Structure 1
Amino acid sequence: MLVYLLRRLAVALCVCVAVSALSFGLMFVVGDPAVAIAGAGGSARDAEAIRHAYGFDRPYVVQYLGWVGHVLRGDFGQSIYFNMPVTEIVRARLPVTAILGGVSFTLALVVAVPLGIVAARKPGGLTDRLALLLAVTGQAVPSFWLGLMAIVVFGVWHGLVPTSGADTWQGYILPVVVLAYSAMPAMMRITRSGMIEVLGTDYIRSAEAKGLPTWQVIVGHALRNAILPLVSLAALQLGVLLSGSIVIESVFALNGLGRLAWESLLRADLPVVQAVILILSLVYVVLTTAADLVNAWLDPRIRGVR
């Protein structure tokens, strides 16, 4: 296990270096960043002054290493639009995205796994058909449309919950439910397919023949093997919920990282865009690495143990 752990950590470190290089390179994708910062009304002299002040006239490698050094100290530079440290802006917006993504993921997982298990018990039955209908609907309906309908029905018509903002915990109810509903179908379907495959194996039939309780057969024997692909998918889904909530944050006017990234792109606030992309990319790396380690712990074959 230790060898597998070190190998996965080495791969994760290489990915982190690549992600940091790509994040820094975004500064130059738009062309000359000094011209972008100067804006449409800026002169060539303004652009040259900005180029010298920000160090854009130095070699690319020198700029990158200097940027990495500051990032490792928690310094992402100064926001061009807000005129304040990027770290402070991200720190203020991060809790909204973390709460929204974390609670949505938990709700989706709590609903998807039991529903997938129940559906797998009798494939083709009424429960299975209803679960698949729910999954297909969740994948087909756009999250922004579902969010708007939720606002109209529960916020405007009935006034049950706030329609925007996150001043109170009630403001998270609608966006959490909408985001969870969009993440639930994939996890439910992979749980269902995994359980159907495992429940048809000989060792499960032997456990049932011994008279073991149904819950013990499912939880103690079947779920451990069926859950392996779910762990990997769940890690990706959590990353999507944390980084891809820009639509939901915009619909419900939540000031999270997703909305911050979109606003910064429109304003050409490149240091903020760099910071958000780097942070969310590293979240993906950490989650996928953690999923691989969990799967290796659940299944010794993954880490080469025979």
Structure 2
Amino acid sequence: MHWQYLFRRLTLTAVTLVLVSAVTYSLTGIAPGDPAELVLQKQLGQAPTTEQIEAFRAKHGLDEPIHWQYLHWFGDLLQGDLGQSYYHERSVSELLMDRLPGTVKLAAGGLAVSLAVSLPTGILSARRPQGLADHLSQTIALLGVAMPNFWLGYLLIFAFSLKLGLTPVYGSGTLAHLALPSITLGTGLAAVQTRLLRATLQDTLGAEFVTAARTRGLSEWVVVGKHALRNALLPLLTVVGLQLGFVLNGAVVVEVVFQRPGLGTLLVDAIFDRNYPVVQGVTLLAGVLFVSVNTVTDLAYGLIDPRINVGGDPA
């Protein structure tokens, strides 16, 4: 472990999160519409009075300039306070912790599906280029990249829920509820992983150390699994780390399609409701997850291949 490298990454992470929070706060501040008026109208069911709007703005600090609002919010953040939701009469932290497990389950399910598809298909394609398995996997990968998540989700609902009755249409709570959302999210991830693994594994199979392993009489699966695949996994690990960082984007669509309670649906509802403290909280948490996953991914390089110097310093 290179502690100087880790310190640099943590410092960069902190700076990145500050910039993310500042940009998000600025965008919510210049968004059209007065959140006080819109929130009160939805709560009261009628147009609020001027006094009610002013009271709401004073209560939530919306009567101050945007930079002062941000500084007050950031000061509370340093004390672990993300503020209060305009609607739920609960802290933003509580809402995030309630919804986070649902998104984590969806991300884990999508990743499991993607690896279950990409690893065998990528290996088969690399071992027999231009063969039937290779052409089939490339076609499926191309469809997976081109197919929008929301379209695939509705197609799976129509086929497996409405026609065959094999899975629930909406909701969460069981593995049956998780199956179709995981396939929907994992298909796009698997497409990218398969194409990358095929390309890197093909290059690795032509390397001298692989040829030497074959001359020692090792079986082809031992050569591929123990020697070639280990080296080909490094680029795949990079892509998986980036995909996990961006998985919230896909989760927003998938959770809306399947009506799953998670960070995605929480963010969409908060945007439409002008519930800006929740929008800022979800965005900040997404930033934390993104930079954390990529930091862990970089550190994992040294575990997969000890020859790699993670810190970037001379050995």
What is the TM-score of this pair, normalised by structure 1?
Answer: 0.90
Say whether the 8 Å CA contact 2:21–2:283 is kept in structure 1: no
Say whether the 8 Å CA contact 2:109–2:178 is kept in structure 1: no
- Give 1:184 shift: 0.7
Identify the match of residue 196 of structure 1 among 192, 202, 214: 202
Q: Say if 2:222 is the partner of 1:219.
A: no
Partner residue, 2:61: 55
Identify the match of residue 165 of structure 1 among 161, 171, 175: 171
Q: Equivalent residue of 1:75, what SS?
A: coil
Q: How many residues are matched?
A: 304
- Give 1:102 shift: 1.1
Say whether the 8 Å CA contact 1:121–1:196 is kept in structure 2: yes
- Give 1:301 shift: 4.9
Q: Is the deviation greater in 261-270 or in 142-151?
A: 142-151
Say whether the 8 Å CA contact 1:113–1:188 is kept in structure 2: yes
Say whether the 8 Å CA contact 2:245–2:293 is kept in structure 1: yes
Q: Say if 2:284 is the partner of 1:278.
A: yes
Cα distance between partner residues in 2 of 1:159 and 1:120: 37
Q: Say if 2:308 is the partner of 1:300.
A: yes
Structure 1 residues 24, 251: CA separation in 2 closer, same or farther (over 3 Å shift)? same
- Give 1:218 shift: 2.0
Q: Say if 2:19 is the partner of 1:18.
A: yes
Partner residue, 1:258: 264
Partner residue, 2:5: 4
Cα distance between partner residues in 2 of 1:74 and 1:113: 41
Structure 1 residues 136, 191: CA separation in 2 closer, same or farther (over 3 Å shift)? same
Structure 1 residues 232, 57: CA separation in 2 closer, same or farther (over 3 Å shift)? same
Q: Equivalent residue of 1:244, what SS?
A: helix
Cα offsets for 1:143-172 (capped at 9, x unmatched) = 212111211111111211111111433111
Identify the match of residue 84 of structure 1 among 68, 90, 99: 90
Q: Equivalent residue of 1:102, what SS?
A: helix
Cα distance between partner residues in 1 of 2:173 and 2:216: 55
Q: Equivalent residue of 2:89, what SS?
A: coil
Q: Equivalent residue of 1:245, what SS?
A: helix
Alignment identity in percent? 36
What is the TM-score of this pair, normalised by structure 2?
Answer: 0.88
Q: Is the deviation greater in 41-50 or in 99-108?
A: 41-50
Cα distance between partner residues in 1 of 2:215 and 2:199: 23
- Give 1:241 shift: 2.4
Cα offsets for 1:90-117 (capped at 9, x unmatched) = 2222221111111111221122122212
Q: Say if 2:251 is the partner of 1:231.
A: no
Cα distance between partner residues in 1 of 2:98 and 2:152: 27
Identify the match of residue 129 of structure 1 among 122, 126, 135: 135
Q: Which amino acid is the alignment partner of residue 161 of structure 2? A: G
Q: Which amino acid is the alignment partner of residue 233 of structure 1? A: V
Q: Say if 2:155 is the partner of 1:149.
A: yes
Cα distance between partner residues in 2 of 1:179 and 1:108: 8
Gaps of at least 5 residues in structure 1 are: none
Structure 1 residues 10, 76: CA separation in 2 closer, same or farther (over 3 Å shift)? closer
Structure 1 residues 70, 243: CA separation in 2 closer, same or farther (over 3 Å shift)? farther
Gaps of at least 5 residues in structure 2 are: 42-46
Partner residue, 2:215: 209
Q: Which amino acid is the alignment partner of residue 262 of structure 2? A: G
- Give 1:176 shift: 1.2
Q: Say if 2:272 is the partner of 1:246.
A: no
